[in-house]
Structure 1
Amino acid sequence: MTATTTVRTAARVVDAVKVYGSGDTGVRALDGVSVDFPAGRFTAIMGPSGSGKSTLMHCAAGLDSLTSGAAYIGGTDLGSLDDRRLTLLRRDRVGFVFQAFNLVPTLTVAENITLPLDLAGGGGDREWVDALVDVVGLRDRLHHRPTELSGGQQQRVAVARAFAGQPDVVFADEPTGNLDSRSGEEVLGLLGRAARQTSRTVVMVTHDPVAAAHADEVVFLADGRLVDRMESPTADKVLDRMKAFEVTPRTEGPS
């Protein structure tokens, strides 16, 4: 008999539908998507412009609500939570990294990293935070302010901040969009190492095949539907898959 290993799911959506507007002008940004994001893995979401990839991330993260279907963080149905409990869940169990670094310019690197913990009124696990500083390579920058850092260094601070509260899952929306190629490679490598070294889950939206190649798996969307999944991606394989999409103009909500 062959033993089977159960893979824990950090986040998932089931029959996810998101409609912007109503009536004849309504646009179906997500059209019955069901997808799971395994714990401890780095997953990239890709698709043509207007495919629904950012909408999927926002709904999976609890930043936006579904029109129908369900979104879960672990075993928690986000649709069952009121605004207060949803805010607490995002604070305690979800991390975010965006294209804009969103650092507080008057705070030091150390203060930016621990800001979510400080706002929550608790010190968090300081040993965990200290280890994160070494993972992101910012030990010699802790007392600097964002304006004294390069773009790549600022995004590394944002990555450390996202992981500081030991979230179940970190969502990254085009995290290298404002970086040069070298800094982008460093941040992507960092996201992968952070996921594997801390056993956390990373879900990244990107339009870049090179960025997607850093992930363990790529999920492909087209016209609001899940159309493919690719394990162990390479930039060439991802690019070939993207070329296979028949791109048609589509007016909708966030991509």
Structure 2
Amino acid sequence: MTATATAPAQIAARVVDAVKVYGTGDTAVRALDGVSVVFPAGRFTAIMGPSGSGKSTLMHCAAGLDTLTSGTAHIGGTALGALDDRRLTLLRRDRVGFVFQAFNLVPTLTVAENIRLPLDLAGRGGDTEWIDGLTDVVGLRDRLHHRPAELSGGQQQRVAVARAFAGRPDVVFADEPTGNLDSRSGEEVLGLLGRAVRRTARTVVMVTHDPVAAAHADEVVFLADGRLVDRMAAPTADKVLDRMKAFDVREARS
């Protein structure tokens, strides 16, 4: 499994002038306020910001899990707002992968069966060589016949990562994927996401509040008050932490 196995599109996902408003009238909350951002293919991007900045909302709208009030969201060249519910469901199934804080594994299935579950539900045979390569990337070859209850939290999240990549999605969205893990297991999963990007030419977009986690990404996108306020290439934990402290200072002054 190498980065040359698949030639991804130049842009994996993007939003343009994205606005998301929850509620109406005096109680309306503007979670996204005109955000435009591109997530390049073959890259690992982290989304960060203070609590309530809109980072999870951005991910959910970019992934087609939620709809925008105005603006557009795209996976590759497909505008999500132009799709009916059925076609949007099919796009999420076939072109998008998800990793959440909760592992969401089926307890009665083995590791191998959990990894293949999206393909089986779609009635697709999948690429045996691809799945086999994923098994090596996530380091689970000796656990394929175990069930989730027989695995550590870190191992369960590795299964979830492999499942997200199993269908060769254009982009994998990860929402606080290390939130339920200890620091050592979290480091293993973050390293795995980075290796998956490099070795499979896939794209990862991760929401996190942790500067150490963000440092594993190729780039960090910063939101504040529903707006895109900064981007940082080649992040380090210290640089990200300093940027986040600047938000705290600004909020204290406001």
Coarse TM-score class (shorter-chain normalised)? over 0.9
Deviations 1:182-202 (A, max 9, x none): 000000000000011100000
Query: Between Structure 1 and Structure 2, how many residues are aligned?
Result: 244
Asked if 1:56 is matched to 2:67, the reply is: no
TM-score by length of 1: 0.94
* Structure 1 outlier segments of 4+, above 2 Å: none
1:132 corresponding residue in structure 2: 134
Deviations 1:68-97 (A, max 9, x none): 000000000000000000000000000000
CA distance in 2, matches of 1:157, 1:209: 24
1:247 corresponding residue in structure 2: 251
CA distance in 1, matches of 2:186, 2:112: 22
Kept in 2: contact 1:48–1:247 (CA 8 A): no
Cα RMSD of the aligned pairs, angstroms, is: 1.3
CA distance in 1, matches of 2:42, 2:176: 20
Deviations 1:194-220 (A, max 9, x none): 011100000000000000000000000
Q: CA shift at 1:247, angstroms?
A: 2.9
1:40-119 → structure 2 map (5 Å cutoff) = 40-119=42-121
SS of residue in 2 equivalent to 1:247: helix
Amino acid at match of 2:49: G
2:211 corresponding residue in structure 1: 209
Kept in 2: contact 1:12–1:35 (CA 8 A): yes
Match of 2:173 among 171, 174, 190: 171
CA distance in 2, matches of 1:84, 1:247: 42
Match of 1:182 among 181, 184, 201: 184
1:4 corresponding residue in structure 2: none
> Matched residues, percent identical?
89
Amino acid at match of 1:136: V
CA distance in 1, matches of 2:205, 2:87: 22
2:4 corresponding residue in structure 1: none
Q: CA shift at 1:126, angstroms?
A: 1.1
SS of residue in 2 equivalent to 1:153: helix
